[in-house]
Chain A
């Protein structure tokens, strides 16, 4: 959920609850005010009536038969009178003119008339605001108010937040595009807001530090593997000379050969590491138009003896000759590593199918089950284990796409050029 929407949702929710609460309070206060007014009128009427009834002989009797419409007088016993508690009530009375029951405010009380000493129950009422009408009207009004307010809140907050957050979202966009191996600092959006200024500053420091460490590390790896070349050269040359010297002794020769095997593995690992860091440090310039079909064909020639020995058939499909702008040596390295991989991880009597289309080359080889995270498979029994990492870094350097999938018993590596 977007920050803007999140905030607006929260504000609106809170707003609604407050409005609801205040609407209820307002409604009840309003009703109370109305009833208080009515009740006061009714109390006055009652007092006037009782005073008049006490003072005027025959007043009650006359009124009993000819009571005004808002008075109901009934003679009751003393016990009944004593049990009547004066109260106000909201109730309904039938009005013939209206043909329906209307809501009224009614005062019920009992008194003893001084004139005849009898007890009466007096009910006087006055019509009042109908509470459901009031609720309805208030609801409409409040609803209108809510909608208007909510809309205002949504629009205003959206506009304000979006505008305020612009530097933030710009920063986010640029951070998303940031790549450490690019070693290029992103443009930080300019802003006046203090928090964002601080955020920019922190991001800047963090990125610069990372770029620095990363570059240093890359350089370190390259320098180290470069520096290792000469000592390795000396040891290997000396070992070879030693092997030459001791070739009459089987025991020595085999021992030295074993050492040489390990040294050569080290040499290959080191030169692959060097190659990898050179690619990552972008030290291969000069992109030319390379026909990948030609490159791959010449690579296959180098490997066909080995493939034949392992009884792996190599089949080519499609007539397309895909071309790409890249360094030719890297194109060779890319193809060689893919073919080498296809042979190394194949099975006896296996096959390799290379399919050319104008926009893609697929190298498929038989083998057992799918491999997870194939491009980061560093450890390997069969080679330096850096082959596919080299492939990956070349692919990344030229923004080519590569995908791996395991389908119908074949490992597919697809290079997408478009």
Chain B
């Protein structure tokens, strides 16, 4: 999977690159409008992360040019601008998702995965971990062909965990991903703990190979 990151802030670019490299992606970089334009016009990428404010031009211009050339490339806008106008025009111009800075790396990863999944038409999207399989399209989990009944939030949690397998997911990142940024309250750590506990219990009862490991009370990690 080849990903292009268009971001002028080098420190951020580097961090995202390192993270994506660790996830076994092939990563290309562009730090200004012109080099980005050149890259998107010449090469094809599985996913493009684009910042809106770039030296030399706007990320939205890149989207417009790509649309004109009928180039589609699973675009995720990453912007410090929370402005809805940008979001709407970005999505109108063919972007698939919009992520506001600052963001969490596991969240970015989940978004990339989701975008990649959405573009694979018809193909089943099933992630298998040991005896368990997670179907992202049907939103179902099977453990050795037996359906595991999960509610919406429990599935969201599990999907996020397995997408970020072997990564440490802090409670905060998990809460924000599943319940949204709105949920954030100081006492939500205990809340997340109890929700994960329920999910873990269900997995254990069905003898799933997916185990959610508790990491020093900071967060969780899924291993198989």
Closest to A283 in B: B83
Q: Which of B38-46, B55-63, B98-106, B132-140 contacts A (4 or more CB under 8 A)?
A: B98-106
Q: Tell me if B80 is interfacial: C-beta within 8 Å of chain A.
A: yes
Nearest CB in chain B: distance from A331 CB, A: 13
Total A-B residue contacts, Cβ distance less than 8 Å: 121
Q: B172 contacts A247, CB within 8 Å?
A: no
Task: Report B-chain residues with C-beta under 8 Å of the C-beta of A250.
Answer: 216
Give 1 or 0 for each of B189-211: 1 = CB within 8 Å of chain A CB: 01100110000000000000000
The answer for the CA separation of A241 and B103 in the assembled complex, in Å, is 13
Q: Tell me if A284 is interfacial: C-beta within 8 Å of chain B.
A: yes
Query: Number of contacting residues on B, CB 8 A?
Result: 45
Known: A230-B9, A238-B15, A275-B82. A306 touches B105 (CB 8 A): no
Task: Report B-chain residues with C-beta under 8 Å of the C-beta of A241.
Answer: 15, 18-19, 105
Question: In the complex, which residues 166-206 of chain B have their Cβ closer than 8 Å to any Cβ of chain A?
Answer: 167-168, 170, 172-173, 179-188, 190-191, 194-195
Q: Tell me if A233 is interfacial: C-beta within 8 Å of chain B.
A: yes
Q: A230 contacts B170, CB within 8 Å?
A: no
Q: Tell me if B1 is interfacial: C-beta within 8 Å of chain A.
A: no
Q: Tell me if B12 is interfacial: C-beta within 8 Å of chain A.
A: yes
Q: A305 contacts B179, CB within 8 Å?
A: yes
The answer for the CA separation of A230 and B79 in the assembled complex, in Å, is 9
Known: A302-B183, A343-B185. A243 touches B101 (CB 8 A): no
Known: A229-B80, A232-B102, A302-B183. A264 touches B172 (CB 8 A): yes
Q: B16 contacts A237, CB within 8 Å?
A: yes
Closest to A261 in B: B172
Q: Tell me if B218 is interfacial: C-beta within 8 Å of chain A.
A: yes
Q: Tell me if A257 is interfacial: C-beta within 8 Å of chain B.
A: yes
Q: B80 contacts A253, CB within 8 Å?
A: no
Q: A340 contacts B182, CB within 8 Å?
A: yes
- Among B11, B186, B215, contact of A382 (Cβ-Cβ < 8 Å): B186
Known: A226-B81, A234-B11, A275-B82. A305 touches B19 (CB 8 A): no
Known: A229-B101, A230-B102, A285-B85. 6 other contacts (CB 8 A): A233-B101, A234-B9, A257-B216, A260-B170, A278-B83, A381-B186
* Residues of B in contact with A (beta carbons under 8 Å apart): 9, 11-12, 15-16, 18-19, 80-85, 100-106, 153, 167-168, 170, 172-173, 179-188, 190-191, 194-195, 215-216, 218-219, 221
* Residues of A in contact with B (beta carbons under 8 Å apart): 226-227, 229-230, 232-238, 240-241, 243-244, 247, 250, 253-254, 257, 260-261, 264, 267-268, 271, 274-275, 278, 283-285, 299, 302-303, 305-306, 309-310, 329, 336, 340, 343-344, 381-383
A-B residue pairs in contact (CB < 8 Å), sample of 29: A227-B80, A230-B101, A232-B101, A232-B102, A233-B9, A233-B102, A233-B103, A235-B102, A236-B103, A237-B19, A240-B104, A241-B15, A243-B170, A243-B218, A253-B168, A253-B216, A254-B218, A260-B170, A261-B172, A264-B172, A278-B82, A278-B83, A302-B180, A306-B179, A306-B191, A309-B191, A309-B194, A310-B187, A381-B186
